[in-house]
Amino acid sequence: MMLKIDFPAPSFNIKTTNEKDYIFDIVRKKWILLTPEEWVRQNIVAYLIQTLKYPAALLAIEKEISVNGLKRRCDIVVYANNSPWMIIECKEPEVTLNEKVLTQILHYNITLDVPYLIISNGNYSFGWSIEDGKPITLATFPSYVGVK
């Protein structure tokens, strides 16, 4: 089941330097090279903050973690009560959300052990809650309101 995302109208700060476009990341508070994957990531961040009212201060972008001794970066990690709560893996729009992408986020979850996993390429998004070690397909993003 695909997650429905009604992205807010883009209101990003974008600049061009040396013929390359950069987007201002409001979470990292710096200019980031605007790649197709970054466009997806920034739209997901805008959706989380503007539409779902997730606290921006509890989002980590490109969070570095160690998976089996290797350094990896999670696109978006949402925190609740000082612990990771959700991982969101973003891909550029042309990337198919397949078993390889799912395996990637599952490997990240070995380290972070969160109850929610989301994958998105901007066109399609899928999510799961992890209950008793088993994935349950989500129809919507989990609500952040009242998270304990």
Residues 6+ apart with CB under 8 A from 124: 2, 97
What is the model's pLDDT at position 146? 59
| pTM for this prediction | 0.92
Classify domain 35-137 by CATH number. 3.90.320.10
**Which pLDDT tens digit goes with each residue over 70-97?**
898 999 999 998 899 999 999 999 999 9
**Which pLDDT tens digit goes with each residue over 52-61?**
999 999 999 9
- For the chain, what are the domain ranges? 35-137
Checking if the pLDDT of 148 tops 60, the result is no
- DSSP letters, 108-133, are HHHHH--SEEEEE-SS-EEEEEEETT
CB 27 within 8 A of CB 56: yes
